[in-house]
Amino acid sequence: MDDKHEIILASKSPRRAEILRMIGLDFKVVPSKIKEKINPNIEQNEIAIAISKAKAEKISCKYPTDIIIGADTIVVLNGKIFGKPKDSHESKKMLKALSDNTHKVITGVTIINESMGFLKTFSEVTEVLVRKIPTKKIEYYITNF
């Protein structure tokens, strides 16, 4: 890759960084720190794309010649979107709801290079079955992780 085009991950997610390392990318992390807003008037996969795009565009303004990767993931159960839990109480409530159910995990991705006029967005939907989790295991997980 040309030295003047660095790859920047616009996310502080350790999992996303791990995935990029696994495929051999050399990149740096610059979190976008945007306020993630869910627009209930658009399709669920478009929500994830819109947030990933906002993250990538914010960082792209600061690094217009670099390749920016923005991503966002939402969880949907029975049509309800679960945001990131704010505290242990919300985490417990979310895990109890997901327990013994199938839910969707929707990830939106945006890749942008402002100087080349390049913008690509896409999303991926995965259905996840969570086996029944006893309350004591949920509490242990929340306390220890």
Neighbours of 104 (CB within 10 A): 17
Active site annotation includes 3: no
Q: Is 43 exposed, middle or buried (0-12, 13-18, 19+ CB in 10 A)?
A: exposed
Total count of residues recorded for the chain: 145
Phi, psi of 93 (to 5 degrees): -60, -45
Q: Which of 66, 72, 87, 100 is catalytic?
A: 72
Catalytic residues: 72
